[in-house]
Amino acid sequence: MSQAFTDQIALVTGASRGIGAATAKSLAARGAHVLLVGRTTGGLEETEEAIHQAGGTATIAPLDLADGDSIGRLAAAVGERWGKLDLLVLNAAMLGTLAPVPSIDAKEFSRLLTLNVGANQALIAAFDPWLRQSAHPRLIAVTSSVGQEPRAYWGAYGASKAALENLALAYGDEMEGLGDLRVAIVDPGATATAMRKDAFPGEDETKLKQPSVVGEAIADLLASDFATGSRIRVTA
């Protein structure tokens, strides 16, 4: 496999399982040293072990992304150790309860926006200085079709993804002309993840693509010469 990311530092959120873990493995297989970020230490360790067994390298960083101070400390540690960040994949998210808009629980909605939007802004802010130190920094925001196509009962989650897309692409526009940082949006489509199972209980998972397919698609995109504003939907 091509070692497109040799000597590059990547950070993937939600890397303890699903699409995040698969993306981390794909990037490590292509030579990146991957920082695995998530709340579940056990899951992060499983991802790290799989990467090491495949000959790659990774470092786990267990933290609650809703804690801005923890994000700041992680960024400081990355800057001190490596002095740059080349690849940032914003994947972590919570689904929340699917409900009619008038019935959305205010406290849960606040938590959802904090993780799905606020934490990603905090990550961009904290790692911006280190992305600027990379020769060719790249940022991927993982979205959902409901971010652009509103669906009944998905208002809370869809609103958070719409906000994430706007936030990430605005950052990309701001960075144009200040270096080679590029931002793209990835919609994984129907994928066999724990979140998908929560949203569609009883669905036949054998008819869904595996997270590894999405991980490879994200790695392929990052290895390409894409333009800021690029959007892909993983269909197979």
Active site residues: 157
Residues facing residue 225 across a β-bridge: none
H or E element in which residue 230 lies: strand 230-233
**Do 161 and 147 touch, CB atoms closer than 8 A?**
yes
In this structure, the number of other CB atoms found within 10 A of the CB of residue 106 comes to: 7
In this structure, the number of other CB atoms found within 10 A of the CB of residue 51 comes to: 25
d(CA 131, CA 167): 16
In this structure, the number of other CB atoms found within 10 A of the CB of residue 178 comes to: 8
What is the dihedral angle through the alpha carbons of 125, 130, 133, 135, rounded to the nearest 10 degrees? -90
